[in-house]
Amino acid sequence: SGAREGSKSAKVLDLVKRPDGATLKELMKATGWQAHSVRGFLSGAVSKKMGLTVASAKGVDGERTYSVKV
């Protein structure tokens, strides 16, 4: 998967690979990172370095959800 097992990166990947993805708040809580750090990780490490496609959607409640299609 490109991330060491048990690392914060692995936690993020597990969350965004779920069928309905993960909200920004869930990702922040799982890692302890601030919002800009989570978004930067998704853009830089996941999208560019790992070559995965990150999809972002805004729900009716205004909450942003990120997902990766496996």
Question: What residues contact residue 40 under an 8 Å CB cut-off, 6+ apart?
Answer: none
Positive or negative CA dihedral for 8, 46, 63, 14? negative
pLDDT of residue 4: 77
**43 within 8 A of 5, measured Cβ to Cβ:** no
pTM for the full predicted model: 0.86
Q: Chunked in runs of 10, what are the mean pLDDT values of the chain (70 residues)?
A: 78 92 95 95 90 91 89
Strand 54-58 relative to strand 22-23, pairing: unpaired
Residue 24 DSSP SS3: helix
pLDDT of residue 2: 65
